Chain A
Amino acid sequence: MDKILQINNLRTIFNTPEGIVHAVNGVSFHISEGETLAVVGESGCGKTVTMLSILGLIPIPPGEIVSGSAYYHNKDLLQLPEEELERIRGREIAMIFQDPMTSLNPVLTIGRQLTEPLTLHLGFDQQKAIQRAVEMLTFVGIPDAEKRLDAYPHQFSGGMRQRVMIAMALGCAPSIAIADEPTTALDVTIQAQIIELVIRLREELGMAILWITHDLGVVAGLAERVIVMYSGLILEEADVYNLYENPCHPYTTALLGALPRVDYTRHQRLDSIPGAPPNLLIEPKHCPFAPRCQFVMDICREQMPQLELIGSDHQIACWVDIHTGKSR
């Protein structure tokens, strides 16, 4: 499988009156054709900003992409002029956003919002676009699709709106679909339905999926590879089975340990991670997880660990071997 998207050392900051917010601090990863990659991390760890940076959707100012490259096939997206980027957005790389309530334009019909990218990118005429829109809506499970084209977003429920968002994003059959926590704003049963839908679409359309989430349960059912982010950095990257069976980064183990389990007794306390998320106004010069890590050593507070391969398809950025408790 070829790599279709290669991100190298991406750094994004935000210039605020309080100082510089270091949102993304040197992120490198890739995604291959048809692959499903999950990006996991707490709120504020930089997952969304990374994706928005790739597509050039960061408001500039106050945002600024300081360094890095994002190669889609042979083009560096970060250097492309706006017109060329516009051709890639929606057509080759599409994004599904988190909150379906606010991500759809309230004053335009969903038919309009669906056909827009079709007429623009694929050159469909109005009739063909409508036909295709109806197909997509039916495919994502919206009943009575033809009549629904004239409806407005507020006339749909949350789950239906998210399906509409998905239909909208995938209309042009992009090679990569970036889904930014698409089920976080929905309740659990709907969540399951949406995930099933995405799996089905993946089989039909064969696109690569970048799924951002903070929910490790979702990752298990969907992803082939996983990236764990913290404070704008990647701490662990592994094939999904490896990650769950053999997590090697203290943060990952802590995350997995914090998951409530069915076999807990009633009075068993949940294992939360002590400490608070890092202050992004400080540029990380050492391991950002050190203050909260139970395996911490002196070097962790002095130098930044780099991502290193520890097995086939398994990388971590850590000074410590958690199995032995000693330096690696």
Chain B
Amino acid sequence: MTRYIIRRLLQAIPLLFLISVVLFVLMQNMGDPIATMGGRTVTRSQDRERLTRQLGLDKPIYVQYFYWLVGNDWTKTDLDGDGIPETQGKRRGVLRGDFGTSLVNRGRPVTEVIGDRLPNTLLLMLTAEAVVVLGALLIGIYSALHQYSAIDNTVTAITFALYSMPVFFFALLVMYIFAVNFKQWGLPYLPTVGMFEPVAGKTPIQVAWHMVLPVATLAFPFFATYSRYTRSSMLEVLSQDYIRTAKSKGLPRRDVIFVHALKNAALPIVTLIGLDLPFLLGGAIVTERIFAWPGMGRLFLDHLSRADTPVVMGILMLIAVAVIVFQIITDITYAWLDPRIRYD
């Protein structure tokens, strides 16, 4: 098994390289970061040139990529524009753990910028995922056991409807009902902006309260897919011969469902979770924007539109690595759950 893991990781490396190149090239199309830097004042052309040189943006793409990858502290750059390189570079490159500094937040290391926002996103994502998995499992099992009953049909219809709604529409609806209208009707209403009220400070209760709407928005569309999968997986498993054998042994229904059936039915769900998780890292861009949640999604959008290559590359590579790692973890978990699977 260890050999398998190592092999997968090694196979991933060329893939990561390929991806980083593609992403870097794509980033060049996002525009000129210097253009958005001056804020209100128009940058003078000398300043512009100076900045361009300072940030290494005057070099051809492949050189920029190269510096991004291995740094430039082993060479000199020309900062004063006289054509003679004289200043020692300071970057160590991604391969040595240096993701550079943000172009938008001048000078701040990318790792810091991302690190600031990452926990917020994780908080949201993991809570949402937990809610989805638990809820969907229960709903799926119930639906499978009571196939075509009134409740099954209603639940199916509702989950389908939720799944069909674009996230921002769901968010709008939910905001409209629970925030705006509740407020109008004098009921305690849910907050819609940010992580906490600035007045009250960042307390757990504040954060929890503020999390309700964003988590609901994130969770509900997934509810549909997960519960449908659980349902169909359970249905397929329940019609298998070994379930009939289990019943014939006189095992109580509870054991038959939660031990014999569920363990078999859970396999595809595990795959689903494994594949979804890393994308949740992307920060559910739209949700974070709507609720002004200070997470990676908003970070991504803001810095992407201002062509902040180091930060955006940092986020994208993080996601890419997460996807690959999670795929490996999922495969291993799958093998652990299903003894018939063996990787050599």
Contact = CB atoms under 8 A, between A and B. Distances in A.
A94 B246 contact: no
A117 B339 contact: no
A89 B264 CA distance: 23
A223 interface: no
A102 B260 contact: no
A120 interface: yes
Contact of A103 (B244, B263, B339): B244
A89 B246 CA distance: 10
Contacts of B240: 102
B245 A117 contact: no
B253 interface: yes
B3 interface: no
B262 to A, nearest CB: 10
A111 to B, nearest CB: 13
Contacts of A105: 242, 245-246, 260, 264
Interface stretch (A80-88, A125-133, A196-204, A320-328): A80-88
Q: Which range contains the number of B residues in contact with the other chain?
A: 20 to 34
A91 interface: yes
B73 interface: no
Given A107-B264, A108-B263, A154 B339 contact: yes
Interface of B is mostly: helix
Interface string B152-170: 0000000000000000000
Nearest to B240: A102
A127 B338 CA distance: 26
Contact of B250 (A88, A103, A108): A88
B253 A90 contact: no
A154 B338 CA distance: 11
Interface residues of A, number: 31
A116 B256 CA distance: 11
Given A82-B253, A117-B249, A107 B244 contact: no
A99 interface: yes
Nearest to A168: B249
Contacts of B244: 57, 97, 103
Contacts of A154: 339-340
Contacts of B247: 57, 89
B248 A108 contact: no
Contact of B248 (A94, A102, A104, A106): A94
Given A88-B250, A105-B260, A169-B249, 4 more contacts: A91-B250, A97-B241, A104-B245, A105-B242
Interface of A: 55, 57, 82-83, 85-91, 94-95, 97, 99, 102-108, 116-117, 120-121, 152, 154, 165, 168-169
16 contacts: A57-B244, A86-B252, A87-B250, A89-B250, A90-B248, A90-B249, A97-B245, A102-B240, A102-B242, A103-B241, A106-B339, A108-B260, A120-B251, A120-B252, A152-B339, A168-B245
Interface of B: 240-242, 244-253, 255, 259-260, 263-264, 337-340
